[in-house]
Structure 1
Amino acid sequence: MTMTVAMLAVGLGCVTAVATQPASAQHPGVKQSRDWKALPGTGLDVVGNAREGDLRRARREITAFRAALASLMPGIRLSAPEPTTLVVFKDHPSFTEFAPRDGKHRRQLNVGGYFSKSADRNYLVLPVHANRRTTSETALHEYTHFVISRNFRDVPLWLNEGLAEFYSTFEVNDQGHAIVGKAPSSRIDTLRSDRMPPLRHLLSGATIPRNFRSSDTAMFYAQSWLFVHYMTLADGGKRQGQIVKYLQLLPTTTSAEAAAREAFGTTLEALEHDVIRYSERDQFPALGLAGAASEAQPQETAAMNEADVAELKGRLLVELGVAREAAPYVERALALDPSHRAGQITQGRLLVLEERETEALAILVKVAQEDPGSFAAQYYLGSALYNGGRYQDAIVALDRALKISPKAASAWFAVALATMALRQYDQSDSAMAQVQELYSAADWHYARAHEALRLGRYDAALPEATTFIERAGVGDDSAPYAAFIGVIAARRLGLVERAEALLTRTASVLLPRSWPLTVVQFMQGRLNATEFLRKAQDNGQRTEANTYLGMHLAQIGQNDEAIKHLTWVKEKGERHYTEYALAIAELKRLQSGQ
């Protein structure tokens, strides 16, 4: 399975982004960029090589989008401990180098933008495009998920996706007039082409797609969008605010149905009748917000210097996990300005990504000593110490980071991992609770499960993997891989029936002839090693196959054979796959005789 932008720190070496100084900071003797500019602002910095008018338009759109969220979801928190930077490229060709990668680490050229979460700064990365939908729908969809996760815990999947779909069609014109809730034609077509499942099935989770590539996915998204649209804009918006009430009631009521009845003030049968009638209308309302994006005191743009530009480009590529592409930019930033603090930290992170921990620590220790008040310096030092197996030292550095920024979810998560590594489970669980309080997301559980398995903490890996599946849903793309973690952990704990139950459940939702189903069949003993390896179609699948085969052979005591397959992963495997880290850790255990 690949590490992606959408995932949260599946290994601390891939935790993303740092900014210890403003992007437009001036450095004596470093020349200014001819095309890169910065537009500072409260909580939202805008930088890019786009024209000044495009930078202002992009910020106006995001500002208006945040205003729309605040208007339609009263009381929602839009601010976060870390600031947000909007990176605007002048066109799609200049954006392409920094586009997110797919499972084979190829650029996703059809992506019109993306939202990237990080330890101390978040990024919205967009190209300027004639078609606004192509430019920003993806980013607005992901940004909505981010805001929801910052405010509510355990949001049902239908509601999370319905809200993101509803807000992703947001538009704002040059005068600052915004439109929220435009009906996406693709969702309307789906609703008209087939019969919707009962509303109670949607609310209970019974209609979650068996797999997000299956045929029922379109209806799930369409019905989720429709219900959110109805609750937000039907009958003049009289139900606005009821979704927030529903979210608040979910943790304290006996069922989703009970929460719905209390929040929506009617029975599910009556509500379903109204929603069906609503879906049959010829036109759907949208909400207009006038003047939502006005700037009381417009800021002046400033030319960025070349060192800042190079560091930013290197950092974006480090976030994407492409060390080879990031290195020239980081080197250029430090060649232009050897004292560039953000460049030094990004260099340290790059070295961690390249598995050069000793060199990384030399840089990060120095930076942390010279800049004790920098959250980024302390946090990334703690991350590097963790990656080097110095867990107690990592906790000390992370504690310093948390004194600077007590609400930094990534730092609390790093503490949860380091204390788990030391088998301090009470402290680890306490830190994990802080993470979910600050930033509720199922991905934290996947990341913790993966690290627990890598560290050999099987008693922690199994419950975390199970929790991820329950929260993300069995149809989530990562759910089979969480199940594989749980199966390996369960077998090493002697819980054979638990492992078999996980495999049976996982197999029931996978598409025929899919690669994850092939892995399940191997783990169930329905494929032998030769057949399993032969079915791997590319190097990524071979990385997974050799890892799971090696771990299976180690489990049954065939250590020499296990070492052969794990060594193959070390020498020929895809390093950006999460299985790579599992294989390396297992290989070290076997070679050390543990």
Structure 2
Amino acid sequence: MAAAVLAGAIGAGLAARESGSQPAATPPPRASASEAATYPPSELVRSCESAGQALRKRLDDDFAILVRPPFVIAGNTTAGELEQMARWSVLRPAGAMWTSYFDKRPDKVITVLLFKGDKAYRWWAGTLFGDKDLPHFGYYRNVDRTLVMNIDTGTGTLVHELTHALIVYDYPDVPTWFNEGLASLHEQCTVGEREITGLPNWRLPALQAAIAKGALRSLRELVSARDFYGPGQGLNYAQARYFCLYVQRAGKLPELYRHMRSAGRAAGADVKAIEAALGKPIQTVEKEMIELVKGLKFGR
């Protein structure tokens, strides 16, 4: 199996940036491979083993548990099924993101709970965490670094939320639009050993309709305003996702990520990072992105 095809839906992100330094003309080079060669550290391995033992006491016998540092993965399924889900929807995507984007890896345990069936998903979320008003597909609990997923809805949301869980260690002040754009790109994708490639998904029709009506705000406004989760949230997700897909198809997404990470928090920093990575004004970038989106198709 050379790649896994993933489909899913929405997620939640991190706070936007506010103020700071100017972006560098060129992004800093990738960190050395020394951390990857010695990862995971023994302390993290011990923490994961302890977390797995503690989780075993909180779950019933229907659950299998895997310890794969930095992840502790549990699901109400067989050990074999859980191993396959972990391999293709957690470990392989994480490895691809570390290779493509993230230099710094987690130094704390990340728990992944995969529930088969909506009833189990809601009951266990309430029992373990007291969470009641749940998204249909799943969510990420930043407070305790836990992904809680209704895996029967597909694995796309799992990879979306996994992106949020991993990016914070490498880029803690990632702006919301880029955090959600990259995570949403991973909702439907192919996962190779070294990269994740986004594909058109269910967010496309709404974006195409907004373009046709002239109702899409400018790319500059999307990346400069701090209202991503406001009234236009659904369209913001779509616009950010397909901007990331446009950049990926231009072969510049890892470069953009590094420019963004080094950009600082000054007003206009995100626009400058985009222009530096793509080598053209943001108005040209926007026109090219819109033309790409107009020609895309998504069939269920």
TM over 0.5: yes
> What is the deviation of 1:179?
6.4
Deviations 1:307-337 (A, max 9, x none): xxxxxxxxxxxxxxxxxxxxxxxxxxxxxxx
> What is the deviation of 1:170?
4.1
Q: 1:226 to 1:42 in 2, by over 3 A?
A: same
Give the 5 Å matches for 1:380-459: none
The amino acid that maps onto 1:180 is: T
Q: Give the Cα–Cα distance (whole angstroms) in 2 for the partners of residues 260 and 112 of structure 1.
A: 31
Deviations 1:396-434 (A, max 9, x none): xxxxxxxxxxxxxxxxxxxxxxxxxxxxxxxxxxxxxxx
Give the 5 Å matches for 1:209-248: 212=230, 214=231, 216-232=232-248, 234-235=249-250, 238-248=251-261
Q: 1:108 to 1:277 in 2, by over 3 A?
A: same
Instruction: Determine the structure 2 residue equivalent to 1:69.
Output: 97
Instruction: Determine the structure 2 residue equivalent to 1:410.
Output: none
Q: Give the Cα–Cα distance (whole angstroms) in 1 for the partners of residues 119 and 244 of structure 2.
A: 36
1:160 and 2:179 are equivalent in the alignment: yes
Q: Give the Cα–Cα distance (whole angstroms) in 2 for the partners of residues 222 and 199 of structure 1.
A: 12
Q: Aligned-pair RMSD on alpha carbons? A: 3.8
Name which of 220, 223, 240 aligns with 1:200.
Answer: 220
TM-score w.r.t. structure 1 length?
0.36
TM-score w.r.t. structure 2 length?
0.67
1:112 and 2:137 are equivalent in the alignment: yes
1:282 and 2:292 are equivalent in the alignment: no
Q: 1:192 to 1:72 in 2, by over 3 A?
A: farther
Q: How many residues align?
A: 247
Instruction: Determine the structure 1 residue equivalent to 2:21.
Output: none
Is contact 1:50–1:128 with CA below 8 Å preserved after alignment? no
Q: Give the Cα–Cα distance (whole angstroms) in 1 for the partners of residues 66 and 239 of structure 2.
A: 40
Is contact 1:111–1:138 with CA below 8 Å preserved after alignment? no
Is contact 2:13–2:176 with CA below 8 Å preserved after alignment? no
Q: Give the Cα–Cα distance (whole angstroms) in 2 for the partners of residues 248 and 226 of structure 1.
A: 20
Larger-Rg structure: 1
Instruction: Determine the structure 1 residue equivalent to 2:113.
Output: 87
Is contact 1:51–1:90 with CA below 8 Å preserved after alignment? no
Unaligned runs of at least 5 residues, structure 2: 1-11, 16-46
Q: 1:189 to 1:151 in 2, by over 3 A?
A: same
> Higher strand fraction: Structure 1 or Structure 2?
2
1:37 and 2:37 are equivalent in the alignment: no
> What is the deviation of 1:230?
0.7
Q: 1:282 to 1:128 in 2, by over 3 A?
A: closer
The amino acid that maps onto 1:187 is: L
Give the 5 Å matches for 1:103-502: 107-108=132-133, 110-118=135-143, 122-129=145-152, 131-132=153-154, 136-170=155-189, 180-193=197-210, 194-195=213-214, 196-205=216-225, 208=227, 212=230, 214=231, 216-232=232-248, 234-235=249-250, 238-251=251-264, 255-256=268-269, 257-283=271-297
Q: 1:182 to 1:260 in 2, by over 3 A?
A: closer
Q: 1:106 to 1:143 in 2, by over 3 A?
A: closer
Aligned with 1:46: secondary structure? Answer: strand
> Higher helix fraction: Structure 1 or Structure 2?
1
